[in-house]
Chains A and B, each alone.
Chain A
Amino acid sequence: MQKLTIDELKKIREAARKDIYLRDGEFRGKIIVHTGTCGIAAGARDVVSAFMQELNTSGRRDIIITTTGCAGLCSREPMATVELRDAAPVRYGDLDSEKVRRIFREHVQGGLIVQDVAIGIGSERG
């Protein structure tokens, strides 16, 4: 790759912002599974597989699944955050494939938050 200049990096930054912020992008929903070592030890990889299975079955192309590192509240792993466009993100915890199915069907597709699995809504205070 050619050497980038500072100005070129700034342009890349603008473009990248569109990618990760839903309101500017083309996706309707984003499912973030938290996969640090603690999450993986608790079963986060199964959670990712379960979400992907549900997504495949649904045939939808406007939802993305992504992974991040540890979200901090290790005792409630595996955790996932569901972000639908124009709605606050919802963090779910203590997940298993059964709860993942419910979350995908009731929240991601149906728009109804699964109350008994949710930990909190919105973002952490910076």
Chain B
Amino acid sequence: MLCSGTGCVAGGSYRIKDALEEEICKHGIQNEVSVVITGCNGFCGQGPLMAVQPDGIFYGWLKQEDIPFLVEEHFLKGRPAKKLIFVPPEKKEPIPLLQNIQFFQKQRLIVLRNKGIIDPERIEEYIARDGYTALEKVLSSMKPEEVIDEILRSGLRGRGGAGFPTGAKWKICRGEKKTPKYIICNCDEGDPGAYMDRSVFETDPHTVIEGMTIAAYAIGARRGYIYARSEYPLAIKRMKTALDQARDYSLLGEKILSSEFSFDIEIREGSGAFVCGEETSLIHSISGKSPEPRQRPPFPAQVGIWDCPTVINNVETLANVPVIITRGAGWFAGLGTQTSKGTKIFSLVGKINNTGLIEVPMGISLREIVFDIGGGIPGNKKFKAVQTGGPSGGCIPAQLMDLPIDYESLAGAGSMMGSGGMIVMDEDTCMVNISKFFTQFTNDESCGKCSTCREGSEALLEVLTRISDGEGREGDLEFLEELGMAIKDASMCGLGTTLPNPVLSTMRYFRDEYEAHIKEKRCPALVCRNLIKYFILPEKCVGCLMCRKNCPVEAIQGELKHIHVIDQVKCSKCGACLEVCPVKISAVVKASGEEARNLKSLDMPIAVVEFKKQMKAQKEV
């Protein structure tokens, strides 16, 4: 319905009418779409205006050149042309209060208290928001043992994934007689999909510096290292600026804040090795040795870098320290669960509406994270699982959605907290493919020292690839389980001991998917390329050429108004045809297994009218 008020006519609504009618005829849909001229709608400032009913969509500020795109998008593909839409004022919702929006409401910001508020490159802003008050308190009124005690009582546990009590680690190091002692901040963050530590560096680097300085005071260290992966250039740049500014303000270096305590920090960069997130490999990397783990005990807190007592803490762990000192251990221990205190930052990614970083109290349920904070799954698809802990973790399925998030409950479900990556998966995710992806990753990143990790991951990958390609055999699943357990038992470091987790956990909850791949040669989620087939249903195809035009490998035959046929040999399974086939026609389907095998193609493209005649004749017979 095109507005023909004076304003819109002056804006060209009649030219738009002509353009609309031309486009509609061109696509042969004149029997389905009619163009009607109406009177003035009232929104003259937004004209030329058009309303599409019964869809209830208004388009505004229309220009002639917008029309072909609009017709193709809205009338052929069935999706309103978003960029041209205009929302009439009375239909607008009032702007919600940020704190009432689910995404923000359920979060509890401790580490991320300054996010989006301060300029990370201006130390004055951090100071203005009570920055460095914790360091003031520590230097003026607390002994090192008292600091350690406070952190112990708070219940803070390592946020890198293993969850070792931070206070205990500091106490062990303090108790060692050998000097010098060192503190290292681990910002290697190798998990795919995890970017919490990067964000803390980019958003609020001083909270880490302050935490690290307090830790150094507690254990008696004079030098610290920040180990950051070189793939984080902006994070490193902002941290460097922050360190320089801290030195300018006597918050780092000799005689901090005119006290007797001196401490400084140097940045060392990683070079693309996932294994360097592991404590002992990290130490070797900094000291110029081969980046491989070593046997523990002794632990780094007793024998660390250059054989000196060293505490290695994750970025998030250190970032919590200033707030625990200012607000007290009791306050911190009041948040979270019995065994897991405080908050945790998660990177909520994957098939989720509100992708981003969230800081939530321990004990919150997965259901709240996915559906309240995350806003649910896009396209209203069915939730399938959440992968926590990255390549060291496992998946949590729908039946465990009410699990409270803490270290013990996640481990009990066959996963782990990990560094905080949370990848949401829906019905279109193939769990076999996911375990193959993570195994490929850890196989790539294995340092090669232990046979179980090096050869074991290779063998796991070989079996998973066969299963995904449709060559799975009887006995494969039992083999995966046995080998997985052996790798867990006999590998020396965390990379090896946790690498079978994705495989074992997906088999625990989604065994039926594995069995479908092996026994029926079917991929239920329609992902594994060798097991899926794209097919054009002859009874639905109108021969519009859309799929043929978009096929990157020219695998589709058929002239205009002839049934299109996909050459299964040429088909690269890219899915472009399924995407471009107009919604009203929906002739392209994706299938796997028995269903795919039963779809029979025409031998060659015949005219649509010819096909319809044949169908009619068959029915009459």
Contacts and interface: CB of A to CB of B under 8 A. Distances in A.
B203 A69 contact: yes
B104 A66 contact: no
Interface string B62-98: 0000000000000000000000000100001001111
Interface residues of A, number: 45
B258 A69 contact: no
Interface string A85-126: 000001100000000000000000000010110111111111
A120 B101 contact: yes
A70 interface: yes
A70 B202 contact: yes
Contacts of A37: 195, 198, 202, 232, 234-235
Contacts of A19: 124-125, 128
A113 B95 contact: yes
A71 B116 contact: yes
Interface in A8-49: 9-10, 12-13, 16-17, 19-21, 32, 34, 36-38, 40
A37 B206 CA distance: 18
B249 A69 contact: no
B203 A9 contact: no
Nearest to A5: B258
A74 B116 CA distance: 12
Contact of A16 (B117, B128, B353, B354): B128
A73 B140 contact: no
A79 to B, nearest CB: 8
A68 B124 CA distance: 13
A1 B119 contact: no
Given A70-B115, A72-B358, A125-B99, A6 B257 contact: yes
B112 interface: yes
Q: Specify which of B98, B100, B130 lies most central, judged by the most chain A CB atoms within 10 Å of its CB.
A: B98
Contacts of B107: 72, 124-125
Contacts of B250: 1, 3-4
A120 B87 CA distance: 18
B616 to A, nearest CB: 50
Given A36-B203, A72-B357, A124 B99 contact: yes
B139 interface: yes
A94 B459 CA distance: 45
B97 A12 contact: no
A121 B127 contact: no
Nearest to B119: A66
A67 B119 contact: yes
B258 A3 contact: yes
A6 B139 contact: yes
B543 interface: no
A16 B127 CA distance: 7
Nearest to B89: A115
A17 B125 CA distance: 8
Contacts of A66: 119
B98 A119 contact: yes
B99 A73 contact: no
B136 interface: yes
Contacts of A3: 250, 255, 257-258
Contacts of A1: 248-250
Contact of A116 (B92, B130, B357): B92
A4 B356 contact: no
Contacts of B105: 125
A13 B128 contact: yes
A118 B101 CA distance: 12
A9 to B, nearest CB: 6
A66 B124 CA distance: 14
Given A4-B257, A70-B115, A9 B96 contact: no
A78 B355 CA distance: 13
B358 to A, nearest CB: 7
Contacts of B87: 116
B81 to A, nearest CB: 16
B118 interface: yes
Given A5-B257, A120-B96, A74 B115 contact: no
A119 B102 CA distance: 12
Contact of A122 (B92, B97, B120, B195): B97
Interface string B244-265: 0000111100010110000000
Contacts of B535: none
A28 to B, nearest CB: 19
B113 interface: yes
A72 B121 CA distance: 18
A73 B99 CA distance: 13
Contact of B202 (A36, A91, A120): A36
Contacts of B99: 120, 122-125
B136 A12 contact: no
Nearest to B355: A75
Given A6-B139, A9-B132, A75 B356 contact: yes
B127 A70 contact: no
Contacts of B238: 69
B505 to A, nearest CB: 26
Contact of B128 (A17, A71, A75): A17
Contacts of B358: 72
A69 B115 contact: yes
B98 A91 contact: yes
Nearest to B129: A20
Contacts of A13: 127-128, 130, 133
A115 B133 CA distance: 39
A121 B93 CA distance: 13
Contact of A32 (B109, B113, B116): B116
Contacts of A70: 115-116, 199, 202-203, 357
B608 to A, nearest CB: 42
Given A70-B199, A71-B116, A115 B95 contact: yes
A68 to B, nearest CB: 5
Interface string A53-84: 00000000000001111111111000001000
Contact of A124 (B104, B129, B354): B104
A40 to B, nearest CB: 7
Given A1-B248, A72-B103, 10 more contacts: A10-B136, A16-B125, A19-B125, A20-B128, A32-B116, A72-B115, A73-B354, A75-B356, A81-B116, A123-B99
9 contacts: A1-B250, A10-B136, A13-B133, A17-B128, A19-B124, A90-B95, A120-B95, A120-B97, A121-B95
The 4 closest A-B pairs by CB, nearest first: A69-B203, A71-B116, A120-B98, A16-B128
